[in-house]
Structures are given as structure tokens and as C-alpha cells.
Amino acid sequence: MQKRHFIDRAIKWLFFGAAATSVLVLLGIFGMLLFNGVKAFAHISLAEFFFTSNWNPSAYGEPSYGILAMLASTFLVTLGAMLLAVPLGVGAATYLAQVATEKTRLILKPVIELLAAIPSVVVGFIGIVMVGPFIARVFGLSNGLTALNGAILLAVMSLPTIITVAEDAIRSVPNSFKEASYSLGANQWTTLIKVVLPAAYSGIIAAIILGMGRAIGETMTVLMATGNALAMPRGFFDPVRTMTATIAIELGEVPYGTTHYYSLFAVGALLFLISLVVNLLAENLAGRYRYKL
Amino acid sequence: MKTKLAVRDLHLHYGTKEVLKGINLDIPENNIVALIGPSGCGKSTLLRAMNRMHDLNPEAKVKGKILLDDDDIYAPGKDVVAVRRKIGMVFQKPNPFPKSIFDNIAYGLKIAGENDKHKLHAIVERTLRSSYLWEEVKDDLDKSALSLSGGQQQRLCIARAVAVQPEVLLMDEPCSALDPISTAKIEALMLELKKEYTIVIVTHNMQQAQRVADLTAFMYFGEVIEFAPTRQLFDAPQMELTANYLNGNFG
């Protein structure tokens, strides 16, 4: 009897430990980023870091540490990805949840989820050899590795997230809303647009934000496919270098303990904060969309 | 008395299972007709057939006719939307849209193309007054309909159905989720509404059928066993099956 009691308690603590570990890892990562990142500001002013666009930490004499250009690049690529992925993703989710027959849905859904299984390096590869050259030809550019290229690839990568979560939200709209709408003389499309989608609104927003989080944090694809130019982008046809790509490119070669080294941690901490806010927002909205029946 | 809705030899299959086995029923204008019978006897199925709600279910196959003013609502090429505009429905559980009280009532009017703000306001007020809800919600028209109590929600759903001015109102156990006071309010509302509309109600509540219905149909295993004036059906049922059911021998 004593022994069984002991095993019960041991198992409880074992699982608690497993859960606590992931929380500790999260806190550890954030603490480490913040701890190192803050050191950068011993030599860089906050104003320079956040409000100037010249990033040239290894310049001889006067290095510069402005992240505005890469912040704008991250923003631009993410925005482009969302402009493409949101209509496509929400449209696909609506089709799967409301229009498709059960048979079609059972085939399409796993296939769409499979999109998420493509390694990002493969997506980047496709960007270099196919999508980039295609963009260059269509728009008459000398180089197709642009913000647009990254946006298209990130759109594809965030589609599975958007479709899965949005479909779930749309499907969870109670049938009784639809019946009420039909009984008032609405047709299928009116019902969809005026009743079903508005009822699933917060879930769809959550889906979009989660997809956005995926796009903001993605590194390998944008590193490979967007040209990595360290300048303020003027539009989608410019090559860009995002925050993620900058960290990936530079952190491997930067001398330990320098201002440059710490400044990359500061970029990482900022990126982490952005992702955190995006995810918390999505979580908060997603919890609200379920209707009690 | 003029027949508003006539069911003629109506059969309905779910897959291979026959749920309605040749229903015939004449529903007179400005009457309340109650459909009673044990669970699974097909009364809700019959009610939903009356405004073609089964169209949404690919499993359901309907044969036979339902005539609204001598016009078959199942005729080939018949516009379902037009049918449903004339035959409104109130469901078992109150199902207001997650929109404001105003928008719930205005929904049916807006999708029918009514966009004049003043007109909408006038109709919303008139409809809410006629369902005795106006005094309770007149200051909260912009509040979510989901903030209302269950009984208020159901009266809102009735108002929503009435707002588009149908000719027939179908009610599927509209009070089964409500307390006695809300139920009494809805029954009073039904008696008021029958002056303008023809009402068919499915109910499990024998007292309710006797309180509101002019005619009552007793259904059993997909058939109408007996259809008679309510008093007569309850006091002197002609069929043994009806008598057994009313005496609580099964159900």
C-alpha cells in the first residue's frame, strides 16, 4: 500500500516535471535573449537601434546598428504573405467547412495539412529555382529574389495553419444559425456571408494571426529567397533582408562578446516579443469563438 | 374554412428508412394545428418538410406534394427561397444570430432587399411590439441577442420569423426549453398571431396542445392516425391507438 502511494506521487511529479521543463525552457530562452540583448545598448543608443535604417556593424571606424530596414523588410514580407494567404486560406477553409461534400473534405484536408510537412529549405529552394526566375520574367526584373518572392513562399507556408484553424472555427458555427437563416428565405451564399462567417469571425482572425506568426518567424526560406539586401525596401520588387535572416547570416561569424554580438541578441529578443504578442493575441481570440450549444 | 396548407400522400426516406409513410393533412387558414405523438413518430420531420428544410440533407428523399394555396412547394423548378419566405419557422432551441437584437429582426428584411433605415426601424418596432418584447428590449436594441433570457430569445426568434410576414408559421416544440412563465407568454402570442397567420406546432406537451390548438393530429410511426378538432381528439378519440397514447399507455 505504501509502495503504491509512493509510485502515484512519483508519477505525478514526473509529469509535472515534464510540463515545467517546457515552461522553464521558454523563460530561459527569453531571459538569455534579454540578458545579452540589453548589453548591446551600452554602446548603441535606443534611438539609433530603433529609428535608423543603416545596419553595418562590421564597418571600419563607425559601425551602425539601425534595424529599421530589416524591421520594415520583415513587415513587408509578412504583409505580402498575408495579402496572398488570407483570401486563399479563408476561401479554402470556407469551402472545406461549408461547401465541400464529406468525401471531398476527407481527401483535401490531409493533403493541405501535408503542405506543412515540406521543409522550409525545400520551399526556399523552389523560391530560388522556380518562383524567383518566374517573377523576374513576368515583371521584367534583373533579379527575382525579392520581397515578393519571399511573400509568395511564406504565403504557401502559412496556408496550412490558416486553413486548419479557420476551417475549425467555421465548422463550429452551430447548424441552428444556418437553419434560422434558411428559414427566413436566405440562400446558401447569403447565409454563408451574412451569418456563418461573421459568427466564426474571431476564430478566423485567430487563424490569420497564427499564420502571421508562422510567417514572421520563418528564417530559412526568406534567407534563401529574398536576395538579402541590407537597404530600406521601397516595395515588393526590392530584395530585402529580414530580422530572422540577419541573425542567421551574422551570428555564426560574429566575434563573441562584441557590441555586434549583443545587438543580434537584441534583434532576437525583439523578434521573440513580436511573436509572443502575436501568439497571445491569437490564443485570446481563439478561446472566444466557440459557441455553447 | 379555406385550406392553407395541404399535405398529399407525402413520403420521406432517410436513406433506406421510411420516416413518413404517406401523410395526408389539410391545415385550415388562421388555425393552429398541433402535431403530437411519441418521440420518433415523424412529427418534426413532417414539420420540416413543410418549408423544405430537408433540402439541406442529401440523405432525405421526399415524395408526394405539399400544397400552399393549391401550389405545390415541391414542384420541379420551384424557388425554395420564395417558399421559405412564405412559410417561416421557429425552432426547438432559441437560435438568435450572434448579432444585435435589431439586426436579428432586420436580417430577413435586409436579405429580401429592404434597406430603408426608417422602414426597417418601423418594422422592427412593430414586430417587437406584436411579440410583446418591445417594452423589455426597446432600450437595448443594439445589445447582442445572446444577452437575452431563453424565453426572450425564443420570442425574438418568433418576432424574427414574423418580421418577413410569412403566411404560415411552423413551430418545432418552441417551448420545450422554456420555463412555465415564458411558455405562457409564447402561447398567448400564438393565439394573437393566428389572426394573421396559419400556425403548425409540434409539441410534446398535451396541455399545450389543448390550450392553443384548434385541430390536433396524432402521429405514430410515420403515419397520421387521427386528425380532429382538439377537443374531440382529447375527449373522444376515435382510434384505440390515440386513446392509448393519451392515457399514457406508451410514449
Of B91, B108, B112, the CB nearest to A179: B91
Work out the average pLDDT over B48-75.
92
Dump pLDDT digits (tens) for B159-207: 999 999 999 999 999 998 888 988 998 999 999 999 999 999 999 999 9
CATH number of residue B209's parent domain:
3.40.50.300
Residue B251 is assigned to a structural domain of this protein: no
Residue A220 is assigned to a structural domain of this protein: yes
DSSP E strands: which ranges in chain B? 3-14, 17-28, 32-36, 60-68, 71-72, 87-90, 168-172, 198-202, 215-220, 223-229
A104 near B CB under 8 A: no
Distance of residue B50 Cα from the nearest chain A Cα, in angstroms: 11
Domains held by chain A: number? 1
> In the structure, what pLDDT confidence band is assigned to residue A292 with cuts at 50, 70 and 90?
very low
Cell of B116: 430603408
Residue A15 is assigned to a structural domain of this protein: no
Cell of B186: 409564447
Dump pLDDT digits (tens) for A100-118: 988 999 999 999 999 999 9
Q: What percent of chain B has pLDDT over 90?
A: 84
Tell me which chain A residues have a C-beta less than 8 angstroms from the C-beta of B104.
none
Work out the average pLDDT over A163-171.
94
Of B53, B93, B108, the CB nearest to A184: B108
B150 near A CB under 8 A: no
Residue A10 is assigned to a structural domain of this protein: no
Average pLDDT, whole number, for chain A? Answer: 92
Cα B224 from Cα A219, distance rounded (Å): 69
Of B88, B98, B112, the CB nearest to A183: B88
B160, B108 Cβ separation under 8 angstroms? yes
Residue B52 is assigned to a structural domain of this protein: yes
Cα A183 from Cα A181, distance rounded (Å): 5
**Helix boundaries (H) for B195-251:** 206-212, 230-235, 240-246
Does residue B67 carry a pLDDT above 50?
yes
> In the structure, what pLDDT confidence band is assigned to residue A293 with cuts at 50, 70 and 90?
very low
Residue A279 is assigned to a structural domain of this protein: yes
Q: What is the 3-state secondary structure (H, E, C) of A233-278?
A: CCCCCCCECCHHHHHHHHCCCCCCCCHHHHHHHHHHHHHHHHHHHH
Q: What is the pTM of this model?
A: 0.82
Residue A31 is assigned to a structural domain of this protein: no
CATH number of residue A178's parent domain:
1.10.3720.10
Residue A149 is assigned to a structural domain of this protein: yes
Residue A244 is assigned to a structural domain of this protein: yes
> In the structure, what pLDDT confidence band is assigned to residue A1 with cuts at 50, 70 and 90?
low
Q: Which residue has the higher pLDDT, B201 or A230?
A: B201
Cell of A59: 564597418
Burial of B83: CB neighbours in 10 Å, binned 0-12, 13-18, 19+ = buried
Work out the average pLDDT over B146-154.
92
Task: Print the domain residue range for B229.
Answer: 3-246
Average pLDDT, whole number, for chain B? Answer: 92
Closest CA to B204 of B90, B84, B74, B41: B41
Distance of residue A199 Cα from the nearest chain B Cα, in angstroms: 6
A199 near B CB under 8 A: yes
Cα B34 from Cα B171, distance rounded (Å): 9
B101, B145 Cβ separation under 8 angstroms? yes
With a CB cutoff of 8 Å and minimum separation 6, the contacts of B224 are B23, B24, B25, B217, B218
Q: What percent of chain B has pLDDT over 70?
A: 100
A85, A211 Cβ separation under 8 angstroms? yes
Work out the average pLDDT over A120-148.
94
Handedness of CA B206, B208, B214, B218 (dihedral sign): negative
Does residue A289 carry a pLDDT above 60?
no
Measured in whole angstroms, the distance separating CA A84 from the mean position of its chain's CA atoms is 14
Task: Print the domain residue range for A146.
Answer: 64-286
Residue of B nearest to A101 (CA): B58
Cell of A246: 540577419
A56, A270 Cβ separation under 8 angstroms? no
Cα A284 from Cα A203, distance rounded (Å): 10
Cα A214 from Cα A154, distance rounded (Å): 8
Cell of A118: 515540406
Task: Show which of residues 98-117 on chain B sit within 8 Å of chain A, judged by CB atoms.
Answer: 98-99, 107-108, 111-112
Residue A184 is assigned to a structural domain of this protein: yes
pLDDT given for residue A62 in this prediction:
86
Work out the average pLDDT over B41-49.
94
Does residue A196 carry a pLDDT above 70?
yes
Q: What SS3 state is found at B37?
A: coil
Work out the average pLDDT over A20-46.
93
Cα A20 from Cα A280, distance rounded (Å): 19
Closest CA to A281 of A197, A221, A216, A218: A216
Does residue A20 carry a pLDDT above 80?
yes
